[in-house]
Structures are given as structure tokens and as C-alpha cells.
Structure 1
């Protein structure tokens, strides 16, 4: 009578157990790696110099830590210069000529589409429709050749691309910045400026604002307007917004002559307007912010009812550009666009030069403030009453809250 080999039986069972564990692990990993569809998105730079992306359904309470509640990002292929819409993240890796579309899962940032876009750096974007994205930018080598790409974000393909009929820098000016784009019916407005390189923070800007008006969709140039009331119209809006359209269809944009942008500190930060029924800058409107707060501002968020928020530096609290971003010196101010007055919002001093840090919805502004380790909060600002209270806390490795976005 044959007897069963106990060693063989044990070996067989161990192999079977190992196979089952592998299968179970694979199923668990697949189950956990689900697309996350929460209402808000938060982009963090940690004290560990790592970057994280979090999502949450509430900004009003609780504690979030990037290393526990977020996913770690590969900063070699993605950065905070993102476009966030409808649960998708769009990012251009200009070094590799790759425009990617991502979704956040519970474990990673997952690429769901990729387009080849050569020799291009995004300066501004504009949503022509819910699924049509217009990208405007410059060549990578000289930053002086304006280009555009129109993208269908559902099929994720390029509809059309080409050059933009804007003048190139001349004389002492070597490069260009495109500070805003705005489409209104059959017109496209593009604000831009020119730069020259020097020893102080690499470059400074022209003391003239340029605004081109193009026919749309032909993209033929009809007019270039010049204005010397301030310098550097707008800014890179994948990092921070600088313009909006109000309830009446009037378009507003802010200039950025401060050392973090135009590096023309003797020029005032100001707000310009193009009326809804006009195609030229309103020569009767210029909101000189610097003359009131005696500082420069970066970032403009519209609250409704002719009210807006700007984020301004305090030149008495930093030394120069080298410590501007790391010093707690930024204040938030409420602007009355009609009466051209300002009021400081009673928030702690913030740090970080340029951030997408305000979300406005249903009479509330959610404002992200970095006020020191374990004191990073998204504050809840009641627009009507002006009252403030702390919302969700960003703890753990949180150093900078680079951006907060509404996903859906």
C-alpha cells in the first residue's frame, strides 16, 4: 500500500497558498486603484520636498495630511502648472513635448491620454466650450514665437494648431509673455508684454501694456492697443488667475509689475476693464491698487457683485526676490471694483509667491493660507458678512498649499 509523501503534500499546499496570496493581492490592488471623484482637489509641496495631490468632498472641517490622504507625485513629469476641470488634470511636460490628461485614483495620478506638442510652453488657457480647450504659449528656446493649440478634451485630440499674429520683441527686448486671453463672440483679446534680460532677477518688462484684438475663428489681427498706466498685463494662469468676466459681461484683468512677475516695481499694480459692448480698453477705468495698499499684488479672484480678492506682498517684511516666497508676508485684500477701495481681510500672513488659493461658490470664499507648521488652514470667508472661520486643516508634511481647485 502506497503512503502519501508528507513533504510533497506540504510543498503543494505552500505553493497553492502562495498563488492564492498573489491573486488576492492583485485583486486587492486593482480594487484599491479606483478613480477618485471628490469635489475638491488640493496640491501640496511638503517639508520633505515631495509633492502630493489630495481630493476631498469638504473644505469646512477635519484634518488632511498629504502623506496619508494624498498620492505622491513624480515632479519630473508633472507640476503645479495644471489645468483642472471635471475631474481631469491637464499638464504639459514641455521637455518631453507631451501634453497629458490624468485622473486621480486612490493610489496614483493615472494618465488617460497623451498628445505630442513640440516646442511649446503654455502661457495661458481659455475654455472655448466645456470640452474645447485653447492653449496659447511660446516656443521653449527663445520665448518669443507665439503659438496656439486647440484641443478636444473628450476625444483628446488636437483640432488645430498654428502661429499667432503677434509682434516679436525688438531692440533691447528679447522675449515675450502672454498674460491673458479672452474670447468674446467673434473676438479674441490677448494681453502681452516684452522683456529684456539684466542682472536683477534675470529680466524686467516693458513699461507698456499691449493688447491684441483678433478675429475669431480666423485668428487674424485687427488691432494692437498700447497703454502705459501699468506694466505686464496678467500672468501665467496655469499657476494663478489674473482676470475674470463679471455678471454684466465686462472683462477685468490685473497687471503684475511686482518683482515676482514683471520686475518693474516702480509701476503700480492695477486693474483694467474692457466693457461688454467695447473692444478696447476702458480709458476711464484704472483701479490703482498699489496707491492704496502701497504694495504689489499677485492673483485676482472674483467674488461677484463687483467684489474681488487680491493677494499682496508686504515689502517691509521681505528682503528681496530670494526670500519673497519663503517669508510670511502676503496679505489678502477685498476690492470694491466700483468704488475702487480696498479692505484688508483679517487672515494670518501667508507665504508662497504665486498660488491658486481661492475657491468661490454660493456666497463663500475658501482661502488657503500657509501660516506655519500645523497652522495651515483653508479659511471660510462669508462674502456678505465678512466673517471668517477655520475650515479643513492641512497637517503633516504640508509646507505650501500650491493650489486648491473645484473638480466638479
Structure 2
């Protein structure tokens, strides 16, 4: 049972740090270490970090905001707010969010307002919760999206975006069974809803790719650019949509437009990347970082997670040209691993050959250097993010 938790929001010296890094040790224990610099030096997350004695895959559905770490306890269906206090991962407050067991997408639409979306199972439409994270009060409901239909028995919401008094949702339908395995529909679905009423306005369908967005708690695939255009990547590769015959592609919704821009289609799989991709981060000046797999270096879904085979590319969203970053091969299918600040791009790399580093990329000079080193028996760097802002 969930223990009674104190409703304290005080900031300790630890959560006044600038950055949070979450790792997993080689003996499968998760740790959080907080730091003020990523540009150099050495950190010891296993020796000096706070162990996270919580659900084993908490790194996959964590949300970090203003020194707080939010996640859903799947057994109790409570959203828990945690902080690192006295180097311990400590529960501070909680709120019940019934039916939100499997978190798929989140969106901070005001400083203290959080939208989370989850599919409840049994061929039902997705559920949502709107949470005030200052008061820890929540309201829940059902999104008016068409429920899964045969031959599909489940669905995911891969992105949510608030703009122009509307909520945009990108979603997919999937089949999953012991005989068929897992796969996705051959369509990118994007719905517009009136907000805050959440009534369905229109559904747009695009057959050129599949699985728009991703589980954004684990890895980002959407952003707004300098012109306030919204970009989202569809991820049909085996590690996400499991419909690899469809290409990975980038789409957009232009600022002040009320429909996806059908003229814009950036086919990543047909570019020099020549593979599927699963992560995308905006770095400014119409450019983004794309994290892509390299086929031929892995054979199975399990190897996709375990074997170093990941490349990073800088892509120009306007010219659709690419520049491969000279980084060691990375591993881990889903990681929150790119952070942009003051014109520099910080990228965490899990390298079996060159060690675990936060690399620093300067887009102006296209130069790379090693920054903060994570020393000790670190197996994965799962999360790199700002603690505040």
C-alpha cells in the first residue's frame, strides 16, 4: 500500500543542481547523480549517486521538472512526486490517477500543469489525466479517439501538442498476440481536439509511414522550431512500430495551421542514414539531432537493446541534408540522451570501447569533444536532463 506522504515542496541543496543523470549499473541497479557541469571532469554515479529503489524500469517512464522526479506506480496507480534528499530518492507527495497504469505520453502545458496519456487495454480508447503538480490534484477522463478495431487489439498515443486552442494527438493501432507477434498499422493518425473541452474535431491519416512520436518519457521525437512549427517523427522500425517496411519519416504542422503540412515529408530511411531512427531533438537554426540504428550490427530485438549500433546525425530540416557526428557507437534502444544549452549540444554515449561520457557538440564549428566522464561500473546512461526550467 502507498504510504502517507508529506506534501513538502522545499528545495534541498541537491535538487538546486543544474543537471540530473540517471544510470544503471552492471548489476541492474538504477542511480541518479546531480551535477552543475557537463563540460568536463569525472562523476561517480554508482559510488556517489542516489540509488533508485523503485520499479525496475522507472527510467523508462520518468518525468523530471523543477527538481522533482515524477512516475506512476503501476501497482497502486498513483503518480508519485520524488526528490533526491540527503542523497536518497525520496517520495514527497502523490495523487491517484486510476486507469493510468501504462504511461505513453506526457506534456507540461503550463509550469505546474501536466497532461499524461495512457491506454487502458481491452480495445478501449486512451485515458488522460490533467494534474496540478503544485497541489497534486488530478482530473481524469477518456480521450475521444476511435478505439482499436480488428485486426488491431491495442493502440498508443505517441505525441501530444497544445496550440491554437487545440490539442493535437498522434497515435497508432497495433496487433499483439502469441501467434502474430507485434506490429502496427500502415498509417500515421493525427487528431485535433478542441481544448479544454477535448471534443474531437478532425482526424488526418497518412499512409507514408507509421507510429508517430514515441513513448516520450523515454526518448523525444517531437519539438517546436524557431518559427514555432511543430515537427514529429514516425518510428516504424522493429524497436517501436515493428512495421519496418514503412520508412522512418519526419512530418510537421506549421504554426497557425490547422492541419499537418502534407507537402513536407522527410524520408529518413531514404536519406544517407539508410536505416530506421527512434530519437529526434531540436538544436536550433532549423537543425535537429537524429538517433538512428545501423542495420547489420544487430540481428534480434534483444540485440537492438544490448549491442552498440547507434549513430547520431545532424539533419537540416529545410534542405534535408545530413551530417554524421563522429561519435562512438551507442547502445540502448530508448534514451533521453541529448540536451541543448547555450548553443552547445550535450550527448550521452554508452560506449563499450571508449567509456561512458557526456560529449559536447558545437554546431557552429561542427566540433566534438569529450565532456563529463561517468566512472565506475556504469552499464547504461538512461537519462540526461535539466533539473530546472
TM-score bracket, shorter-length normalisation: over 0.9
Shift of 1:36: 3.4
In 1, distance between residues paired with 2:86 and 2:378?
Answer: 19
Provide the C-alpha distance between the structure 1 equivalents of 2:91 and 2:287, rounded to a whole number of angstroms.
Answer: 38
Matches within 5 A, 1:190-205: 190-198=169-177, 202-205=181-184
Q: Work out whether 1:221 is the aligned partner of 2:194.
A: no
Which ranges of structure 1 fall in alignment gaps of 5 or more residues?
1-32
2:50 is matched with 71
**Are residues 310 and 194 of structure 1, via their aligned partners in 2, closer, same or farther at CA, if it must alter by over 3 Å?**
same
Listed as ranges, the gaps of 5+ residues in structure 2 are 1-11
Whole-angstrom distance in 2 between the partners of 1:144 and 1:386: 47
1:4-23 residue pairs with structure 2 within 5 A? none
Distance 1:294 1:239 in 2: 24
- What is the Cα deviation at residue 276 of structure 1? 0.5
**TM-fit CA distance, 1:328:** 0.8
Aligned position for 1:368: 348
Counterpart in 2 of 1:304? Answer: 284
- In the other structure, the counterpart of 2:222 is 243
Of residues 107, 122, 133, the one that matches 1:126 is: 107
1:300 deviates by 0.6
More helix by share: 1
1:168 is displaced (CA, Å) by 0.5
TM-score by length of 2: 0.93
For these two proteins, the number of residue pairs brought into alignment is 374
Quote how far apart the aligned CAs of 1:185 are: 2.5
- The offset of 1:201, in angstroms, is 8.8
Give the corresponding residue for 1:142. Answer: 122
Deviation at 1:107, TM superposition (A): 2.3
Q: What's the TM-score once normalised by structure 1's chain length?
A: 0.89
* Equivalent pair of 2:328/2:354 in contact (CA under 8 Å): no
Aligned equivalents of 1:353, 1:170: Cα separation in 2: 29
* In 1, Cα distance between equivalents of 2:98 and 2:350: 36
Deviations 1:158-198 (A, max 9, x none): 1x221110000111000001000000031110000100125
Contact kept, 8 Å, 1:78 with 1:91, in 2: the verdict is: no
1:19 aligns to what?
none
Q: Take 2:180 and 2:50, find their aligned partners in 1: how far apart are those partners?
A: 34
Matches within 5 A, 1:318-333: 318-333=298-313
Q: For each residue in 1:55-82, what CA deviation from the matched residue of structure 2 results, as whole angstroms up to 9, or x when unmatched? A: 0000011111222220111133771111
Give the direction of change, closer, same or farther, for the CA distance of 1:71–1:379 in structure 2 (3 Å limit).
Answer: same
Question: Aligned partners of 1:143 and 1:47: how far apart in 2?
Answer: 38
Other structure's SS at 1:290 match: coil
Give how far 1:144 is off.
3.7
Q: What is residue 384 of structure 2 aligned with on the other side?
A: 404
Tell me the distance in 1 between the aligned counterparts of 2:292 and 2:257. Answer: 30
* Gap change, CA 1:361 and 1:96, over 3 Å in 2: same
Does residue 210 of the first structure (1) align with residue 164 of the second (2)? Answer: no
8 Å CA contact 2:122–2:154 kept in 1: the answer is yes
Residue 6 (structure 2) aligns with: none
Residue 101 of structure 1: aligned partner: 81
2:357 is aligned to: 377
Equivalent position of 2:257 in the other structure: 278
Cα RMSD, aligned residues only: 1.6
